[in-house]
Amino acid sequence: MELKNKDTVVVVGGGPAGAFFALHFLRLSKVRGLDARLVIIEKRGETGPPESAHHLSCREGCNYCAGGLSPKLTEALEQEGLFLPEDIIAGVIRSLTIHAHWKNIELRVPADKKMYAVFRGSRPKGRVNRDRNFDSFLLEKAREAGAQVIFGNVYDLGCSEGGKHLVLYQSIKSGGEPGEETGRTIEADFLVLAGGVNQSLGQPMNKTPFWDVVRKAVPGYSPPRVRRALICEVEIQAELEAFLEGEIYFVEYGSQTLKIEMSSLIPKGRYITAALLGRSVDDLGSRDGLGLIKEYLDLPQIKRILPFGASMRPVCLCAPNMTVGAASRTVGERAAVVGDMAWARLNKDGIYSAYLTASALARAVLEAGIDGRSLRAAYVPVIRQLKRDNSFGRVLFMLNRLVFANPTLSRILYQAVLTERKKKPQRARRLADTLWKMASGDDTYRAGLRAMFHPLAVWSIAGGLLLTMRNFLTEQFFGLRWHRLGRYPTGLHKEDMEAKRVEFLRVGRPGFRPGRPAFESMYSITVKSEPGKIFRYLGTFGDGNRKYFKPRWLQVERIGGRPNEPGSLIRYLTPFRFLDFQVTLESRVEDKVLVYRVKSGFAEGGILIFDIEKEKSGVAGLSIYVAFDIAPGKKWTEKIFWFLFRYFFPGFVHDVLWNHSLCQLKDIIEKDSA
Ligand SMILES: Cc1cc2nc3c(=O)[nH]c(=O)nc-3n(C[C@H](O)[C@H](O)[C@H](O)COP(=O)(O)OP(=O)(O)OC[C@H]3O[C@@H](n4cnc5c(N)ncnc54)[C@H](O)[C@@H]3O)c2cc1C
């Protein structure tokens, strides 16, 4: 059974699935020379004045979504010629940060990928530009492609004498009010059901009467498994916008009382969208959502992401269903379901899932036919294959939670990722690539699982285990405690290190031979503070009452000059006299650079540079560069001793000490700023 010219296709639901189906169908039917009519019936909407550039401008409410557009989706949109206008993009995402129990793992969005944050509707109330949103944009594009958009609520289906579906709907006036008392009917040669899984928000799925309506067209339809989510738009202070701009955070654990398995924070200008999944959300019935969100924002790991003392106001909150499985039947005679009603990728990328099912259905309808048998042959296998991938996703998420929520396991993984980041070029970073694909939805879960258990990935993790044990013992030896201290990443990417190294060597003019010195290291940390404050805190280096860099067995004190003034002399005393040395501040650039030179001892001529770089308003990067060589000595006994010393020099101790100290510095500066 095939569609013919002048036939009518009715799409129930003008969310992403409905709009994507319309766009695909209209494009493909044009290619095939089919002149069919396509009508979308959407229950949530207001039309603007017809003369307005954005006729379907205002979308009442929203479609209960965090609005993160994955790289796969943005790529697909561009391939379809759908370029998002600037006023639809609420945020351009430059990095994803997985917040693990030990430390954050930041994953940059590769230069050839795009990720955006959007609003799906007019909510939250009072936002500027509320008539510009992603769902209205898609619907407008469908209308431009030839779809007719009707605002109405589909409440029943019937059957015409010719065996076609009759779609019964009540029209809706501008503002979401019911339009007419009596319903209207439209006959469909083919019916697409794209109504999502939030027919009645917050109601259990089995109490949704709409499924009985769907079963009239798709006999045996049983909706996919859903999970309750909590989503909240949180208004933030204007000053915080710049802090958070361009970042997405994933946090996969809560606390003893707040059971969270997965949560995301997506900044969008004056708002951050928080989306939560977990046992506490499943059991929300007995707790109020607002209380739960407040408890979430109060978690130490969330406070570490958002600056200390940040004022945040939840302004829009709901507990929608999220599709986490696949429907049991998806096709009938002259009808099929798409989008969330059919399948969605587990915990990720629902809009791209809607794109996949909608485009697959459009192809099936035009290439195979509209009878049940043709659809079963051309469309159902696609759903089945997508469904299978979610089983791999379940295992992958379980492993992830296990690792990220555990302090020891997440430290091992962090260490492995850090080593890879410092030593390997970007294209060879296997672990980071796997994490990026999983967090961004850039590959199938099956591929993600396979990559995770690749022998080279396992080898990197084994390396991470050894390094973690070594660093832990070093911390114990030097009495470094993490209790009540934030743990932040301090390692740089290899490519950044190379670029900075050249700059530091130029500024520091070290007194050692060209080439690689005996020891060289670089660390960096992002501090939510103005450069001036960081510079002042660095002035306490060597003070007796400083609050950082105070390891056991090492005495560091200023013995001459004034803080941050050239000539300031700092002495390092160790338990072994031959390891003692002094550094002097040689030059400085106010609020930016401090260059210390090693004056005496085995590292004489070496340099220690503190560099502060403003990243954005209220945020600066603090980098430390250390490099020195070891003189070979004159007598042959000295030569052997210093050769062995150079060979066995435990450079990692320096890394462990400064890693801890940088976290201390960040904590005290940010607390002070707050
Ligand atoms: C908390 C949460 C966060 C999420 N975050 C993301 C994210 O960041 N990125 C991402 O890609 N996905 C995300 N998703 C998933 C994503 O929202 C969905 O997968 C996607 O919206 C599915 O599109 P859809 O068109 O199938 O359904 P929907 O978006 O629900 O659209 C259905 C449309 O049908 C209309 N409709 C329903 N019933 C009728 C009726 N009877 N008559 C007429 N019209 C009707 C509705 O008004 C609606 O416009 C999230 C989901 C949840 C719950």
390 pLDDT band, cuts 50/70/90, is very high
- Joined together, the tokens standing for residue 528 give 């939510």
Q: What is the biggest distance separating any 2 CA atoms in the chain, rounded to whole angstroms?
A: 107
34 Cα: distance to centroid of ligand 1 (angstroms): 29
Asked if residues 603 and 580 have their Cβ atoms less than 8 Å apart, the reply is no
pLDDT for 112 beyond 70: yes
Q: Which atom of ligand 1 is nearest to the CA of 17?
A: 25
Strand, coil or helix: what is 635? coil
Q: Write down the residue that tokens 């101790």 correspond to.
A: 653
Residue type, 337: V
pLDDT for 308 beyond 60: no
pLDDT for 310 beyond 80: no
* Structural element, H or E, at residue 657: helix 651-673
pLDDT for 554 beyond 90: yes
368 Cα: distance to centroid of ligand 1 (angstroms): 27
pLDDT for 487 beyond 90: no
| Candidate from 12, 20, 40, 65 with most ligand 1 atoms within 8 A of CB, to mutate | 65
pLDDT at 188: 97
Q: How many CB atoms lie within 10 A of CB 74?
A: 20
269 Cα: distance to centroid of ligand 1 (angstroms): 22
277 pLDDT band, cuts 50/70/90, is very high
346 Cα: distance to centroid of ligand 1 (angstroms): 14
Asked if residues 639 and 631 have their Cβ atoms less than 8 Å apart, the reply is no
Q: 196-223 in b/e burial notation, b at 16+ Cβ within 10 A?
A: bbbbeeeeebeebebbebbebbbeebeb
Q: Which atom of ligand 1 is nearest to the CA of 321?
A: 53
Asked if residues 639 and 632 have their Cβ atoms less than 8 Å apart, the reply is yes
33: burial class by Cβ within 10 Å (0-12, 13-18, 19+)? exposed
Calculate mean pLDDT across residues 444-465: 94
Residue type, 587: S
**Beta strand segments in 101-229, E:** 104-108, 116-118, 148-159, 165-171, 184-188, 190-193, 226-228
Distance CA(512)–CA(519), nearest Å, equals 11
204 Cα: distance to centroid of ligand 1 (angstroms): 16
| Candidate from 351, 355, 383 with most ligand 1 atoms within 8 A of CB, to mutate | 351
196 Cα: distance to centroid of ligand 1 (angstroms): 5
Q: Which atom of ligand 1 is nearest to the CA of 155?
A: 41
For 9, phi and psi rounded to 5 degrees?
Answer: -110, 125
Q: Which atom of ligand 1 is nearest to the CA of 266?
A: 8
Asked if residues 68 and 264 have their Cβ atoms less than 8 Å apart, the reply is yes
Adjacent-strand bridge partners of 249: 97, 265
- pLDDT tens track for 577-629: 888 999 999 999 999 999 999 998 888 999 999 999 998 878 899 999 999 98
Percent of the chain with pLDDT over 70: 95
* For ligand 1, atom 48: residue with the closest CA: 15
322 Cα: distance to centroid of ligand 1 (angstroms): 9
Distance CA(371)–CA(190), nearest Å, equals 9
Does 395 or 285 have the greater pLDDT score?
Answer: 395
pLDDT at 376: 97
Q: Which atom of ligand 1 is nearest to the CA of 63?
A: 29
Adjacent-strand bridge partners of 323: 226
Beta sheet of 104-108, edge-to-edge order: 104-108, 95-99, 247-251, 262-268, 271-277, 230-236, 312-318
What is the Cα 671 distance to its own chain's centre? Answer: 26
Q: Which atom of ligand 1 is nearest to the CA of 67?
A: 8
- pLDDT tens track for 175-207: 555 656 567 999 999 999 999 999 887 677 878
- pLDDT tens track for 334-371: 999 999 999 999 988 999 999 999 999 999 999 999 99
* For ligand 1, atom 13: residue with the closest CA: 350
Q: Which atom of ligand 1 is nearest to the CA of 341?
A: 26
Beta-sheet pairing, 331-332 with 335-337 = antiparallel
Q: Which atom of ligand 1 is nearest to the CA of 152?
A: 43
Q: Which atom of ligand 1 is nearest to the CA of 13?
A: 34
pLDDT at 419: 94
Distance CA(383)–CA(619), nearest Å, equals 46
* For ligand 1, atom 29: residue with the closest CA: 15
Distance CA(58)–CA(456), nearest Å, equals 51
* For ligand 1, atom 9: residue with the closest CA: 68
pLDDT for 326 beyond 80: yes
374 Cα: distance to centroid of ligand 1 (angstroms): 27
Distance CA(269)–CA(468), nearest Å, equals 38
Residue type, 342: A
For 133, phi and psi rounded to 5 degrees?
Answer: -155, 165
End-to-end CA distance of the chain: 68
- Joined together, the tokens standing for residue 107 give 């994953």
- Joined together, the tokens standing for residue 549 give 């860099």
516 pLDDT band, cuts 50/70/90, is confident
199 Cα: distance to centroid of ligand 1 (angstroms): 10
Lowest mean pLDDT segment, chosen from 306-315, 328-337, 348-357: 306-315
Asked if residues 632 and 512 have their Cβ atoms less than 8 Å apart, the reply is no
* For ligand 1, atom 3: residue with the closest CA: 65
For 337, phi and psi rounded to 5 degrees?
Answer: -105, 150
Calculate mean pLDDT across residues 62-77: 93
Calculate mean pLDDT across residues 318-340: 95
pLDDT at 388: 93
Q: Which atom of ligand 1 is nearest to the CA of 169?
A: 42
pLDDT at 59: 66
203 Cα: distance to centroid of ligand 1 (angstroms): 15
pLDDT at 130: 78
432 Cα: distance to centroid of ligand 1 (angstroms): 30
pLDDT for 166 beyond 60: yes
439 Cα: distance to centroid of ligand 1 (angstroms): 20
Q: Which atom of ligand 1 is nearest to the CA of 20?
A: 25
Does 218 or 180 have the greater pLDDT score?
Answer: 218
Calculate mean pLDDT across residues 467-484: 94
Q: Which atom of ligand 1 is nearest to the CA of 73?
A: 11
Residue 212, CA distances (Å) to 115, 124, 158 in order: 38, 32, 12
* Structural element, H or E, at residue 354: helix 350-367
Distance CA(346)–CA(261), nearest Å, equals 13
Give the pocket of ligand 1 (CB within 6 Å): 12-18, 41-44, 63-68, 153-154, 194-196, 198-199, 210, 229, 231, 275, 320, 322, 339-340, 344, 349-354
18 Cα: distance to centroid of ligand 1 (angstroms): 10
pLDDT at 464: 95
**Of 106, 109, 97, 107, the residue nearest 70 (C-alpha):** 109
Cβ contacts of 210 within 8 Å, gap of 6 or more: 195, 199
User: C-alpha angle with apex 307: 301 to 309, nearest 5 degrees?
Assistant: 100
Adjacent-strand bridge partners of 616: 619
64 Cα: distance to centroid of ligand 1 (angstroms): 7
pTM across the whole model:
0.88
Asked if residues 38 and 144 have their Cβ atoms less than 8 Å apart, the reply is no
Does 426 or 164 have the greater pLDDT score?
Answer: 164
Beta-sheet pairing, 519-527 with 619-628 = antiparallel
Asked if residues 383 and 326 have their Cβ atoms less than 8 Å apart, the reply is yes
Calculate mean pLDDT across residues 392-397: 93
Asked if residues 233 and 316 have their Cβ atoms less than 8 Å apart, the reply is yes
426 pLDDT band, cuts 50/70/90, is confident
Distance CA(373)–CA(87), nearest Å, equals 44
pLDDT at 286: 59
425: burial class by Cβ within 10 Å (0-12, 13-18, 19+)? exposed
60 Cα: distance to centroid of ligand 1 (angstroms): 14
Q: 354-384 in b/e burial notation, b at 16+ Cβ within 10 A?
A: bbbbbbbbbbbbbebbbebebbbebbbebbe
65 Cα: distance to centroid of ligand 1 (angstroms): 7
pLDDT for 630 beyond 90: no
Distance CA(583)–CA(128), nearest Å, equals 54
Residue 535, CA distances (Å) to 362, 546, 576, 621, 654 in order: 60, 14, 31, 11, 21
Calculate mean pLDDT across residues 140-164: 93
Q: Which atom of ligand 1 is nearest to the CA of 338?
A: 26
Q: How many CB atoms lie within 10 A of CB 185?
A: 13
- Joined together, the tokens standing for residue 253 give 């654990």
* For ligand 1, atom 16: residue with the closest CA: 350
Asked if residues 179 and 172 have their Cβ atoms less than 8 Å apart, the reply is yes
Percent of the chain with pLDDT over 90: 68
Distance CA(610)–CA(544), nearest Å, equals 20
What is the Cα 526 distance to its own chain's centre? Answer: 18
651: burial class by Cβ within 10 Å (0-12, 13-18, 19+)? exposed
| Candidate from 193, 340, 356, 390 with most ligand 1 atoms within 8 A of CB, to mutate | 340
